[in-house]
Amino acid sequence: MSRKVVAGNWKMNLNYNEALSLFNSVNTISAKDVEIIVAPASIYLAEFSKCSGRVKLAAQNVSNFKSGAYTGEISAQMLNSLNVEYCIVGHSERRSYYNETDQLINQKLHLLLENNISPIFCCGEILKDREKGLHNTIIEQQLKHGLQDLTKSQLLNCIIAYEPVWAIGTGLTATAEQAQQMHSFIRDVISQLYDLETASSLSILYGGSCKPSNSAELFAKKDVNGGLIGGAALKKETFNEIIDSF
Ligand code: PGA
């Protein structure tokens, strides 16, 4: 059975005091059967990892190299030494602004899993591809290449996030039906690459302008196991409402 997950991606927002105060208040949210994850800026992870509470920590990025002379980078091993449990990989902002390829994303996934960190693997198509009806093909390619050579048990330690690029930060949300169609397609692809049991155990999150006004409808869909939330995760109230909308 897939578990319910709501993850907040704070991106490059919030100064230290704002982030600490939001983290402390999100840490008090008490949703019984929903796993709550937040991904603050990496420089806050060391401090936040000392505050025990309800919330699990994710990094927003990791190096595709193990260690060494890579100025400015943060390794999977370093994240592991801070007890960071998750890391977002393959986000469309990294794919488009930092030219991250499926191959590089795949290297990051392997390093994370070798260091006991669960990747939140993002996939999503751009508007042009959806308009041309290519969305399934694009997602299938991202899954095949991004998840390459992962064993079944490694894959079971991943969370998949479907984030149509045209819905991220734009206020446009995929309809609940569009989300369900794609999530079910993702399960079919995983089922072909692995098996049905693995596909049904995976948590697949929806991301892209998910907010309190649409989360209940999205989460009610059979194959939508939660959300990866950007803008609406920056306020405790809206993040909490989304968590409560299961
Ligand atoms: P958004 O971002 O909720 O602000 O659209 C989602 C994401 O990028 O993960």
| Beta carbon of 229 within 6 Å of any ligand 1 atom | yes
Rounded to two decimals, the pTM is 0.97
Q: Cα(228)–Cα(8) distance, rounded to whole angstroms?
A: 6
| Beta carbon of 230 within 6 Å of any ligand 1 atom | yes
| Beta carbon of 169 within 6 Å of any ligand 1 atom | yes
Q: Whose CA is nearest to atom 3 of ligand 1?
A: 230
Q: Cα(157)–Cα(238) distance, rounded to whole angstroms?
A: 28
The pairing of strands 56-59 and 86-89 is parallel
Nearest to 231 by CA among 164, 170, 160: 170
Q: Any idea which residues carry the catalytic annotation? A: 91, 163
| Beta carbon of 119 within 6 Å of any ligand 1 atom | no
How far apart, in Å, do the first and last CA atoms of the chain sit? 16
Atom of ligand 1 nearest to the CA of 232: 3
Atom of ligand 1 nearest to the CA of 11: 8
Q: What is the pLDDT of residue 84?
A: 96
- Tell me the domains of the chain and their CATH numbers: 4-243 (3.20.20.70)
Mean pLDDT, 10 residues at a time, over the chain (246 residues)? Answer: 96 98 94 93 96 91 98 98 96 97 98 98 96 97 98 98 94 93 98 97 97 97 98 98 96
